[in-house]
Chain A
Amino acid sequence: MMVPILKQGDVLIATIMAALSDEDMRQFREALLDRVVTSRATAVIIDVMAMDVLDSFATRTLREIAYMTRLRGAKTVLVGVQPEVALTMVQLGLHLEGVATALDLEEGLAYLDRLNRRR
């Protein structure tokens, strides 16, 4: 299962369309990091709207992506976490510290906008 990664200005937008296996998740991480390097993006938005579950592996991978892209000078914003997913995650003690979050894609872009303006 491929995760499409689109480029909009200097923002990369990756939309996860369905539940990913651990292997898919790993591939997605590699692909995204490659794109960050090659496209000189300053920010990455990962949309997980379609995901019903974010398990510990997925959470860890997302966190790793955020740290790695930060080391490449790009900011990661996670958008579209469903309320039920959020509740389950905190009950399982899964954290996404250091990863910015926003309600949906639109809000994520607005957030990056505000960040840029402040600079």
Chain B
Amino acid sequence: MSTEHFMALGRRDMQQTSRHTLPIDAALELRRELVAHLRENRTALREEWVRRITEAQLLRAMTNEEVFNEATSVYDNYVEALETDTLETLQAYARSLSERIIPRGVETDEVVGIVLLLRDVLARSLFGKYQNNPNKLNRVLDAYEPAANRIANTVAVGFVQERERVISQQQEAIRELSTPVLQVRERLLILPIIGIMDPHRARQLTEQLLRGIRTNRARVVVIDITGVAAMDAAVANHLVQTVEASRLLGADVIVTGLSPEIAQTLVNIGVDLGKMKTMGDLQGGIEVAEQSLGYKVVPTNQAEAVV
């Protein structure tokens, strides 16, 4: 008979009746006894667990009260999972707990640590209870250990999954944020680049820029690389290619904010500077761009004087 089958039987038995004069299965009976024991000693065991958590200096990002409250919920969920042998409720709880504590900076080892501590605390209490009956202790542990391991696994996996979800979400956000193509005037785009340029990002950037030129019908693009500290020859070449590709779409590119290091790189790889318009800073670049688009920016008081 499979374990699932056992459990299904057990659940039905528990729902139907509480007479259980005839135990269907010894393991089930043991687990019931176990759950009863855990319920009985709820306060003491919970306090012992919290004490161990504090002692091990886990969950330091949370206040004692918070730790105690979470510990209570975890304990109750834990006992319930043991009793019903279903992990869904615990899974859902682990997920919501992770959502709450990840932003607080709780680490994976802490979560695994506290679940294992609970396992230890409960095992110790079982040792204490059945110390005069080694046979029974053995059988109780047989019933307890697999379930406890499964529960520990569920909580840890739930935490890691939630963490991974957060990380991939952040990666996505960074990727989108990292290459904004902004229109500052009709026909004028700026592309501020901040951070490290690698070939992958350079390529993505070029594609996004070319698409931006199409959709905004841009005639001039200012690429500002003030925020890029250094770039290698491959990426510098890619920058030159970006300039050329933009020109093929009919857009002039002005590169601004070249750091001395990047200027050195460009000279070393022998970039044909005739192909690339450069200006010292973003302001200068935008001014040149406005000029070539026929814009003239004047302070309002002077403008009135002109009118």
Show the binding face of A for B, using Cβ within 8 Å: 78-79, 81, 83, 85-87, 89-91, 95-97, 101-103, 107-108, 111
B217 at the interface (CB under 8 A from A): yes
A86 touches B214 (CB 8 A): no
- Cβ-closest chain A residue relative to B203: A87
B245 touches A87 (CB 8 A): yes
B46 at the interface (CB under 8 A from A): no
Size bracket, chain B contacts: 10 to 19
Known A-B contacts A83-B207, A86-B245; A101 and B250 likewise in contact (beta carbons under 8 Å): yes
Q: Bound state CA distance, A32 and B214, in angstroms?
A: 28
Known A-B contacts A83-B210, A83-B213, A87-B206; A103 and B241 likewise in contact (beta carbons under 8 Å): no
Extra contacts besides A79-B250, A83-B211, A90-B248 (17): CB < 8 Å: A83-B214, A83-B245, A85-B248, A86-B248, A86-B249, A87-B207, A87-B241, A89-B244, A95-B244, A101-B247, A103-B214, A103-B249, A103-B250, A107-B217, A107-B250, A108-B250, A111-B250
Q: Name the A residues within 8 Å of B249 (CB-CB).
A: 81, 83, 86, 101, 103
B111 at the interface (CB under 8 A from A): no
Q: Bound state CA distance, A30 and B246, in angstroms?
A: 29
Q: Name the B residues within 8 Å of A107 (CB-CB).
A: 217, 219, 250
Q: Name the A residues within 8 Å of B207 (CB-CB).
A: 83, 87
B251 at the interface (CB under 8 A from A): yes
Contact of A89 (CB < 8 Å), options: B211, B213, B248, B250: B248
B250 touches A90 (CB 8 A): no
Q: Name the A residues within 8 Å of B247 (CB-CB).
A: 101
Q: Name the A residues within 8 Å of B219 (CB-CB).
A: 103, 107
Q: Name the A residues within 8 Å of B251 (CB-CB).
A: 103
A/B pair count, beta carbons within 8 Å: 53
Instruction: Point out which of A90, A96, A101 has the most chain B C-beta atoms below 10 A from its C-beta.
Output: A90
Q: Name the B residues within 8 Å of A91 (CB-CB).
A: 241
A89 touches B214 (CB 8 A): no
**21 A–B contact pairs at CB < 8 A?**
A78-B248, A79-B250, A81-B249, A83-B207, A86-B244, A86-B246, A86-B248, A87-B206, A87-B210, A87-B245, A89-B245, A91-B241, A95-B244, A97-B275, A101-B247, A101-B248, A101-B249, A101-B250, A102-B250, A103-B251, A107-B217
Q: Name the A residues within 8 Å of B250 (CB-CB).
A: 79, 81, 101-103, 107-108, 111
Q: Bound state CA distance, A78 and B241, in angstroms?
A: 18
Q: Name the A residues within 8 Å of B275 (CB-CB).
A: 97
Q: Bound state CA distance, A53 and B250, in angstroms?
A: 17
Known A-B contacts A83-B210, A101-B250, A107-B250; A90 and B217 likewise in contact (beta carbons under 8 Å): no
Q: Name the B residues within 8 Å of A96 (CB-CB).
A: 248
Instruction: Point out which of B210, B246, B248 has the most chain A C-beta atoms below 10 A from its C-beta.
Output: B248
- Cβ-closest chain B residue relative to A106: B217
**A69 → chain B, closest Cβ, in Å?**
18
- Cβ-closest chain B residue relative to A89: B248
Q: Name the B residues within 8 Å of A97 (CB-CB).
A: 275
Q: Bound state CA distance, A81 and B206, in angstroms?
A: 15
Q: Name the A residues within 8 Å of B210 (CB-CB).
A: 83, 86-87
Q: Bound state CA distance, A2 and B41, in angstroms?
A: 92
Q: Bound state CA distance, A79 and B247, in angstroms?
A: 11
- Cβ-closest chain A residue relative to B294: A114
B214 touches A90 (CB 8 A): no
- Cβ-closest chain B residue relative to A91: B241
Q: Bound state CA distance, A85 and B246, in angstroms?
A: 11
**B202 → chain A, closest Cβ, in Å?**
12
Q: Bound state CA distance, A79 and B217, in angstroms?
A: 12
**A91 → chain B, closest Cβ, in Å?**
7
